[in-house]
Amino acid sequence: MTSTAALTWFARHELRLAWREWLAMMTAGRRGRKRRAVVGLIAFAAIMHLPAYAVIGRFADLQAPLDKSTLIVITATIFLAWALMLSQAIESVTRVFYARADLDLIMSSPVRLANVFSVRIAAIALSVIAMALLLSTPFVDVLVIGGGIRWLAAYGVVIAIGLSAAAAAIAVTIVLFRLIGPSRTRLVAQILAAIIGAGFVIALQIAAILSYGTLSRFAVLTSDAAAAFAPDIESVLWWPARAALGDGEALLLLLAGGLVLLGAVMAMFSASFADTVVGVSANAAPAHQGSRTKAFRAGSPQRALRWKEFVLLRRDPWLVSQTLMQLLYLVPPALMLWRSFSDSSAAIVLITPVIVMAAGQLAGGLAWLTISGEDAADLVATAPLPASRVTRAKIEVVLIIIGAIFAPLVTALLFASPLQAAVTALAVAIAAASATAIQLWFRVQARRSQFRRRQTSSRLATFAEAFSSIGWAATAALALAIPLAALISGLMTAGILAATWKISPRRA
Amino acid sequence: MKPAPSALQVRGLTKRFERLAVDALDLTIRSGEFYALVGPNGAGKTTTLRMVAGLSRPDAGSVAVFGIDALSEPVAAKQMMAWVSDEPMIYDKLTPLEYLEFVAGLWGIDAAVSQPSAHNLLVSLGLGPHLHERCEGFSKGMRQKVALAGALVHDPQLIILDEPLTGLDAVSARHVKGLLGDRVRSGCTVIMTTHILEVAERMADRIGVIAAGRLVAEGTLTELRQQNGHNDTSLEDLFIALVDTEAAAA
């Protein structure tokens, strides 16, 4: 086989793998669901046009030249998309380094590794761009329908920022690898990916709260201060915004820049990719020294189970980071709470739904880890205690952690408004219990390391968990503002839970 | 005087997945016996033992462990049993000592008894230098030894092992065999599935041959030879003859 033919063959192999991984993600790994997944995806994309219209429809008539505030908002939105793509690309790169089972085969084959890894880098870029195109389609469609075909250039912007995000992700991961070593890179890269994904939105919210006392992200972007600080209209910084509006020259320059960047990364890192991979496999499982001999703890089997769950959570920083990442979203409302002590803003009511929502989502993640993510399922199943006691011990762990995390926030709220604190505490307990119950009804046996895939094991459970958290968050907020509406919202959420239970496999 | 109950009595045990996996199986294992269950892949060995251990519910039949009905009183039956599967399922983030502490806690063993026992077990299995290392870096053989130590730390009267020697090197395999032999000599009952017929031949008091979910032959090696009219043949030859006969009959 010639070198070109080998590369083409390998590129086809990579694309097939990427397609199957994506399909497995969409179908939860179950065969025979391909058609349903495709139909579901098309339906989802069609439905997404509605919120896309609500969010972006009014901007379809925008024409160049734009004022600075508009340029800032568009550029910030594109930067947010880039940050999310970077986050996804970092995850893809770490997956290639740490999770692909074919690395030994590739490394031991007689092909030129630099070429093979160039293809793999290109495949990462392609998968990131494909996903971004898929998600951006409803938004661009709305703009094209409302503002004309010039908005098709927005697809080009998505491709350009996808190329640069993939290039940046590979560079960041390899630099991290060299700076902190293979064992820490996985954790740091994945935390980085999550922080990059959420950080930009949160930073804007924090800036808005500190400056304007509001949770709106646009308050900072449309402020006079931002306009004064922003560079001149002709600046390179506005190229993505101009390109999205149909400026052909800016778009070509962006696409060329993205390709050059990715090409440069390939040229610089493809050759050393192999060394990096070897480094990862050589250090995949570093020997962690545990504590020296301590006396065995006495107590009941349930105590042993609780202790095990706490130790496993504490010792897995990756899982902890994945689980607690949702708490990042609590930073802005916590900041707002702190500010409300100095000026009694009515906006403090907004804190309750955010806290309740975070509690529900966190409880769902923890419940999956403790109930479904049991690495020694046979051992626990053969232990001489009833299954109900095992389950109870695991639920206790979830509720203890939720209590420990949210009690300080509720206590702080107590000083601002005792009624709001009471409502928040009750709603946190109900949201956590609901999310835990859903995980219990939809439990599946899995390894803890499959945590990231938990959403794909049951789409129904994922949606039910999200709707339940949103429902209880809305109910709590309404209880503070319009109690009668809270009753209706509460009943609807309870109805969602009842319907979820009715169709859950545990009941069947 | 009433005779002591068998360590395990299985009657009419049946399990069907897409096909019949275990077909009305009867099995009696005496207390203090080392019993090896052998059979070709897919014969129903693991399914049988999983039902005995309470990991899977039979479609029909009964399981009694030391006279206790394991289906109606699973907790009491499990208190006396230990299960080790061929795929060691342990916690990566715990050290071997911590894993054994957890297992002892699950079985409600007094910490004062379980701690020295755990230490001794791990040292005897060659894991002394790794007592305080997390299991995530362990080889399959080391993980298997940790799982085995976990099964022994609560001093079970019936140990059920599914291919326990898979992945072990010769030295480790000898350690494990020695440990199991010691347990049997102290009155414990061991049931083991294995593909290594030489192990069954050397260690087992009795051997059961299972094919297509049914017990097709059972006895000591000598009895099996006599049953099949081959007085000086190896277990491997006997096994192949038995399985071939069964396949031809099916």
Structure confidence by residue, pLDDT tens digits, A109-158: 667 777 777 888 888 888 888 888 888 888 888 889 888 888 899 999 99
ipTM reported for the complex surpasses 0.90: no
Domain end residue (candidates: A282, A316, A334): A282
Query: Contact, A133 vs A85, CB < 8 A?
Result: no
User: For position B118, what pLDDT does the model report?
Assistant: 94
| Distance of alpha carbon B35 from alpha carbon A330, whole angstroms | 59
Of B114, B137, B150, the CB nearest to A379: B150
Say yes or no for a CB contact (<8 Å) between B118 and A296. yes
User: For position B194, what pLDDT does the model report?
Assistant: 87
Interface test with B, best of A382, A388, A389, A390 (most B CBs within 10 A): A382
Q: Are residues A73 and A23 in the same domain?
A: yes
User: For position B207, what pLDDT does the model report?
Assistant: 92
Tokens of A39: 């139909």
A-B CB pairs within 8 A amount to 112
Please report whether residue A470 resides in a domain: yes
Q: Is the pLDDT of residue A290 over 60?
A: no
Please report whether residue A397 resides in a domain: yes
Cα–Cα separations (whole angstroms), residue A355 to A367, A418, B137: 18, 16, 39
Say yes or no for a CB contact (<8 Å) between B82 and A382. yes
- A288 and B CB contact within 8 Å: yes
Q: Which of A172-181, A471-480, B28-37 has the lowest mean pLDDT?
A: A172-181
Q: Is the pLDDT of residue A470 over 70?
A: yes
Q: Are residues A257 and A395 in the same domain?
A: no
Say yes or no for a CB contact (<8 Å) between A285 and B136. yes
Long-range contacts from A297-302, C-beta under 8 angstroms, 24+ separation: A297/B101, A297/B105, A297/B111, A298/B110, A298/B111, A299/B105, A300/B105, A300/B108, A301/A383, A301/A384, A301/A385, A301/A389, A301/A393, A301/B105, A301/B106, A301/B107, A301/B108, A302/A385, A302/A389, A302/A392, A302/A393, A302/A396
Please report whether residue A294 resides in a domain: no
Which residues in chain A (293-312) have CB-CB distances under 8 A to chain B?
293, 295-301, 303-305, 307-308, 311-312
Distance between alpha carbon A5 and the CA centroid of its chain, in Å? 38
Residue of higher predicted confidence among B67 and B140: B67
From chain B, the residues in CB contact with A308 under 8 A are 91, 94, 102
Which of these, A347, A337, A335, lies nearest to A206 by C-alpha position?
A: A335
Q: Are residues A355 and A447 in the same domain?
A: yes
From chain B, the residues in CB contact with A299 under 8 A are 105
Q: Is the pLDDT of residue B67 over 60?
A: yes
Q: Are residues A278 and A306 in the same domain?
A: no
| Distance of alpha carbon A406 from alpha carbon B160, whole angstroms | 45
From chain A, the residues in CB contact with B123 under 8 A are none
Token pair 């409502």: residue: A423
CA of A298 to nearest chain B CA: how many angstroms apart? 5
B204: left (phi over 0), alpha (psi -120 to 50) or beta: beta
pTM: 0.73
Q: Which of B164-168, B202-206, B219-223 has the lowest mean pLDDT?
A: B164-168
**Dihedral sign computed on CA atoms, order B31, B36, B39, B45:** positive
**Domain B1-80+158-164+195-250: what homologous superfamily?**
P-loop containing nucleotide triphosphate hydrolases (3.40.50.300)
Helices (H), A368-417: 377-382, 387-416
From chain B, the residues in CB contact with A304 under 8 A are 101-102, 104-106
Q: Which of A189-203, A301-315, B33-47 has the lowest mean pLDDT?
A: A189-203
Q: Could you list the residue range(s) of the whole structural domain that residue A377 is in?
A: 301-503
SS3 A97: helix
| Total structural domains within chain A | 2
Query: Contact, A376 vs B90, CB < 8 A?
Result: yes
Residues 6+ apart with CB under 8 A from A196: A83, A84, A86, A87, A90
Residue of higher predicted confidence among A356 and A294: A356
Of B90, B111, B133, the CB nearest to A290: B133
Report the side by side order of strands in the sheet with B189-193.
Answer: B81-84, B158-162, B189-193, B34-38, B206-211, B214-219
User: For position B146, what pLDDT does the model report?
Assistant: 93
From chain A, the residues in CB contact with B129 under 8 A are none
User: For position B121, what pLDDT does the model report?
Assistant: 92
Query: Contact, A55 vs A143, CB < 8 A?
Result: no
B238: left (phi over 0), alpha (psi -120 to 50) or beta: alpha
From chain B, the residues in CB contact with A286 under 8 A are 137
Q: Are residues A268 and A341 in the same domain?
A: no
pLDDT digits (tens, 9 = 90+) for B93-120: 899 999 999 999 999 899 889 999 999 9
- A108 and B CB contact within 8 Å: no
pLDDT winner (highest mean) among A215-224, A282-291, A426-435, B159-168: A426-435
| Distance of alpha carbon B132 from alpha carbon A279, whole angstroms | 25
CA of B106 to nearest chain A CA: how many angstroms apart? 4
- B123 and A CB contact within 8 Å: no
| Distance of alpha carbon A340 from alpha carbon B22, whole angstroms | 68
Domain ranges of chain B: 1-80+158-164+195-250
When pLDDT is cut at 50, 70 and 90, the band that residue B247 belongs to is low
Of A288, A298, A303, the CB nearest to B133: A288
User: For position A475, what pLDDT does the model report?
Assistant: 93
User: For position B148, what pLDDT does the model report?
Assistant: 92
Interface test with A, best of B55, B91, B123, B138 (most A CBs within 10 A): B91
Please report whether residue A429 resides in a domain: yes
Of A289, A300, A377, the CB nearest to B132: A289
pLDDT digits (tens, 9 = 90+) for A245-287: 888 888 999 999 999 999 998 888 877 766 666 666 555 555 5
Say yes or no for a CB contact (<8 Å) between B90 and A375. yes
- A387 and B CB contact within 8 Å: no
Query: Chain A: residue nearest B86 by CA?
Result: A378
SS3 A467: helix
Q: Is the pLDDT of residue A350 over 90?
A: no
Mean pLDDT of chain A, nearest integer: 80
Torsion of CA A366, A371, A372, A373, to 10 degrees: 60
| Distance of alpha carbon B192 from alpha carbon B183, whole angstroms | 13
Query: Chain A: residue nearest B150 by CA?
Result: A379
Query: Contact, A447 vs B92, CB < 8 A?
Result: no
User: For position A322, what pLDDT does the model report?
Assistant: 65
From chain B, the residues in CB contact with A382 under 8 A are 53-55, 78, 81-83
Q: Are residues A7 and A141 in the same domain?
A: yes
Q: Are residues A112 and A140 in the same domain?
A: yes
Please report whether residue A289 resides in a domain: no
The whole-number average pLDDT for the span A68-72 is 81
Of B53, B97, B114, the CB nearest to A382: B53
The whole-number average pLDDT for the span A161-167 is 91
Residue of higher predicted confidence among A459 and B213: B213
User: For position A490, what pLDDT does the model report?
Assistant: 93
Which of these, B40, B41, B6, lies nearest to B26 by C-alpha position?
A: B6
The whole-number average pLDDT for the span A174-178 is 81
Q: Are residues A210 and A319 in the same domain?
A: no
Q: Is the pLDDT of residue B198 over 90?
A: no
Q: Are residues A186 and A230 in the same domain?
A: yes
Task: State the DSSP H helix or E strand holding residue A464, giving kind and residue range, or none if neither.
Answer: helix A459-481
Residue of higher predicted confidence among A344 and A104: A104
pLDDT digits (tens, 9 = 90+) for A189-220: 777 777 776 676 676 666 666 666 565 556 66
When pLDDT is cut at 50, 70 and 90, the band that residue A1 belongs to is low
Query: Percent of chain B, pLDDT > 90?
Result: 50
pLDDT digits (tens, 9 = 90+) for A377-405: 899 999 999 999 999 999 999 999 999 98
Q: Are residues A257 and A342 in the same domain?
A: no
Query: Chain A: residue nearest B133 by CA?
Result: A289
Q: Quickly list DSSP for chain B.
A: -PPPPPSEEEEEEEEESSSEEEEEEEEEE-TT-EEEEE--TTSSHHHHHHHHHTSS--SEEEEEETTEETTT-HHHHHHTEEEE-SS----TTS-HHHHHHHHHHHTT--HHHHHHHHHHHHHHTT-GGGTTB-GGG--HHHHHHHHHHHHHTT--SEEEEESTTTT--HHHHHHHHHHHHHHHHTT-EEEEE-S-HHHHHHH-SEEEEEETTEEEEEE-HHHHHHHHT-TT--HHHHHHHHHHHHHHH-
Task: State the DSSP H helix or E strand holding residue A229, giving kind and residue range, or none if neither.
Answer: helix A224-229
Q: Are residues A331 and A209 in the same domain?
A: no
Which residues in chain A (358-377) have CB-CB distances under 8 A to chain B?
375-377
Q: Which of A163-177, A191-205, A300-314, A428-442 has the lowest mean pLDDT?
A: A191-205
User: For position B34, what pLDDT does the model report?
Assistant: 94
Which residues in chain B (83-102) have CB-CB distances under 8 A to chain A?
83, 85, 89-95, 97-98, 101-102
| Distance of alpha carbon B68 from alpha carbon B7, whole angstroms | 10
Residue of higher predicted confidence among B36 and A343: B36
- A292 and B CB contact within 8 Å: yes
| Distance of alpha carbon A106 from alpha carbon A116, whole angstroms | 8
Query: Chain A: residue nearest B78 by CA?
Result: A384
Say yes or no for a CB contact (<8 Å) between B106 and A291. no
Say yes or no for a CB contact (<8 Å) between A381 and B101. no
Torsion of CA A392, A398, A400, A402, to 10 degrees: -150
Q: How many CB atoms lie within 10 A of CB A360?
A: 30
Query: Contact, A359 vs A386, CB < 8 A?
Result: no
Q: How many CB atoms lie within 10 A of CB B59?
A: 13
